[in-house]
């Protein structure tokens, strides 16, 4: 994948795309527009749907802004929509569903932040232009009035979109002061759309990076997930590092830009990490789904233990012993701070901890026992571990890269062969707890757990046994303990 700048669009191309998209969604937007017009209210399609229509990105989520207050909007759509909800009422938003369309309608508004607050104050407005002026970027500050389909663009968003650049409707300092999360959104939109960010916006992000601290961890996390899962994550991540925002929300990332030793004997860990991320994205098809956050974030975090473990040895050698274990701990701590789910934390930290395991495989000398342990330790993350391990090869030495690829091919083939023979993914001892207690004549307790672990290690080392063989081994182990 490439993060090279995309070519600019022509206004004619944009107009053609918008016309086609408005025709596609016409049955919804025109009906709704008439409904509000007959009630004496204004209604306009706004923000993301308008921007995406210009980019040729089809959507089923439609955002509108209106002069109507929330209680009026709710009354108007209640007889028209298939379902209505009002979870966003405090922010002026009423949601509804009409056939396949998800619709959100928000009263004209302005949002401001108190310098020490995490939540916006909401003031309703009376004019579309005022509502558009409070939005984050000019490409999101365009609207189409319905049902007449008049285009509104008071801040030149169509030109910025054609040139693929992100600017704010007013001074970026004012915009980011009102809502500091918009700085994260700038990086996210760069990653999603492949847009450049205007120099004055970058300057404001750099000057105000510390203001992100007032935003809740959950909101920062959600923006980070969207950025990482975007088509061009390198663009967004590089912007976070360049502006200093990453030092506040993901400090492990800029820490990877290690000061290189004077002889340049180790590669740039930061650039290596971004390359591993891109190479893991290229392998996501193995998971059979779209963007996979766990796989991508593991690639991003896999070497975060290196700064803490870097050592300069005699002769100028640089080592990072145990950076996998240290990195897993740092990953867990960061993801906890960002309020990720326990499932995601466990999945990503497991991958970080195991990402070096393959390199103990040498040229393929692992025993069947070692292969079984590799599969057991990876558990449900085995396919993602395959992806991360392959992506972690960024050497420009083609001969070395080809040797590593062949060796990993061999490991996967052995895993598949043993898997067919032994059901590796669900390895259990050859005797269960009840059988252990019956054979040893003991009740539930510590001895049963120890016996279970002995049989599991035996199963890992020597493969499956018959019940009779397992019983004989268990009795021998028990006799040794008693003696």
Burial of 264: CB neighbours in 10 Å, binned 0-12, 13-18, 19+: exposed
| Residue range of the domain that includes 378 | 256-426
CATH of the domain at 273: 1.10.3210
Strand order in the sheet with 61-66: 83-85, 93-98, 101-107, 61-66, 43-46, 143-145, 150-152
Q: What is the pLDDT of residue 340?
A: 97
User: Which stretches of the chain drop beneath a pLDDT of 70?
Assistant: 1-6, 110-122, 259-267, 363-364, 420-426, 483
Tokens of 15: 């107009």
Identify the H or E element spanning 381: none
**What would you measure as the largest C-alpha separation in the chain, in angstroms?**
93
Vertex 345 angle, CA 227 and 293, to 5° = 30
Return the exposure string of 42-80: e unless at least 16 CB atoms fall within 10 Å of the residue's CB, then b: bbbbbbbbbbbbbbeeebeebbbbbbbebebbbebbeee
Q: Are residues 148 and 13 in the same domain?
A: yes
Identify the H or E element spanning 30: helix 26-38
Q: Are residues 267 and 362 in the same domain?
A: yes
Q: What is the pLDDT of residue 474?
A: 86
Final residue belonging to a domain, choices 139, 163, 187 = 163
CATH of the domain at 9: 3.30.460.10
Tokens of 335: 């993801």
Q: Are residues 231 and 347 in the same domain?
A: no
Q: Are residues 274 and 399 in the same domain?
A: yes
Q: Are residues 213 and 85 in the same domain?
A: no
Q: Are residues 42 and 188 in the same domain?
A: no
Q: Is the sign of the CA dihedral 232, 234, 240, 242 positive or negative?
A: negative
| Alpha helical stretches, state H, 252-361 | 269-282, 293-301, 306-309, 323-337, 342-354
Quick: pLDDT tens for 88-109.
898 899 999 999 999 999 999 8
Residue 378: name the closest of 259, 295, 273, 256 by CA: 295
Q: Are residues 176 and 324 in the same domain?
A: no
Report the predicted TM-score, pTM, of the whole model to 2 decimal places. Answer: 0.82
Q: Are residues 347 and 405 in the same domain?
A: yes
The conformation of residue 223, written as its DSSP 8-state character, comes to: H
Count of domains for the chain: 4
Q: What is the pLDDT of residue 205?
A: 98
Q: Are residues 19 and 154 in the same domain?
A: yes
Q: What is the pLDDT of residue 379?
A: 86
Q: Are residues 54 and 43 in the same domain?
A: yes
Q: What is the pLDDT of residue 360?
A: 75
Q: Are residues 305 and 397 in the same domain?
A: yes
Q: Are residues 185 and 273 in the same domain?
A: no
Final residue belonging to a domain, choices 163, 181, 199 = 163
CB 184 within 8 A of CB 212: yes
CATH of the domain at 212: 1.10.110.30
Final residue belonging to a domain, choices 386, 408, 426 = 426
CB 144 within 8 A of CB 104: no
Q: Is 65 helix (H, G, I), strand (E, B) or coil?
A: strand
Tokens of 166: 């992100």
């Amino acid at each position: 994948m490439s993060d090279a700048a995309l070519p600019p669009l022509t206004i004619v191309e944009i107009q053609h795309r918008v016309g086609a998209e408005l025709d596609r969604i016409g049955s919804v937007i025109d009906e709704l527009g008439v409904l509000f017009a007959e009630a004496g209210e204004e209604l306009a399609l706004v923000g993301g749907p308008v921007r995406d229509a210009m980019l040729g990105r089809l959507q089923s989520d439609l955002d509108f802004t209106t002069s109507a207050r929330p209680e009026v909007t709710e009354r108007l759509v209640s007889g028209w929509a298939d379902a209505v909800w009002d979870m966003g009422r405090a922010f002026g938003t009423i949601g509804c569903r009409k056939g396949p369309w998800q619709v959100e309608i928000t009263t004209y508004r302005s949002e401001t932040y108190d310098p020490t607050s995490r939540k916006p104050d909401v003031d309703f407005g009376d004019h579309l232009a005022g509502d558009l002026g409070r939005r984050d970027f000019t490409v999101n500050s365009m609207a189409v009035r319905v049902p007449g389909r008049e285009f509104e663009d008071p801040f030149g968003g169509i030109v910025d979109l054609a040139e693929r650049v992100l600017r704010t409707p007013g001074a970026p300092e004012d915009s980011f002061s009102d809502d500091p999360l918009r700085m994260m959104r700038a990086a996210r939109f760069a990653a999603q759309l492949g847009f450049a960010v205007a120099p004055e916006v970058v300057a404001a992000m750099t000057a105000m990076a510390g203001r992100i601290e007032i935003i809740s961890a959950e909101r920062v996390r959600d923006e980070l997930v969207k950025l990482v899962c975007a088509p061009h994550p390198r663009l967004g991540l590089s912007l976070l590092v360049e502006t200093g925002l990453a030092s506040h929300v993901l400090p492990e990332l800029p820490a990877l830009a290690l000061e290189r030793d004077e002889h340049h004997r180790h590669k740039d860990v930061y650039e290596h990490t971004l390359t591993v991320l891109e190479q893991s994205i290229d392998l996501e098809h193995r998971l059979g789904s779209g963007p996979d956050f766990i796989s991508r974030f593991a690639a991003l975090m896999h070497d975060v233990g290196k700064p803490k473990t870097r050592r300069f040895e005699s002769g100028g050698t640089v080592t990072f012993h145990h950076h996998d274990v240290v990195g897993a701990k740092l990953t867990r701590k960061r993801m906890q701070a960002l309020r990720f789910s326990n499932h995601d934390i466990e999945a990503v930290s497991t991958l970080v901890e195991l990402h070096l395991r393959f390199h103990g495989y040498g040229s393929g000398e692992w025993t069947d026992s070692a292969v079984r342990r590799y599969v057991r330790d990876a558990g449900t993350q085995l396919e993602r571990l395959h992806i991360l391990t392959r992506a972690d090869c960024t050497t420009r030495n083609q001969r070395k890269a080809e040797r590593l690829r062949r060796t990993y091919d061999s490991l996967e083939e052995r895993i598949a062969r043993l898997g067919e023979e032994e059901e590796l993914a669900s390895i259990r001892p050859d005797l269960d707890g009840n059988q252990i207690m019956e054979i040893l004549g003991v009740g539930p307790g510590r001895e049963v757990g120890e016996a279970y672990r002995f049989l599991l290690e035996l199963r890992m080392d020597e493969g499956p046994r018959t019940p009779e063989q397992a019983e004989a081994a268990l009795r021998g182990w028990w006799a040794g303990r008693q003696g």
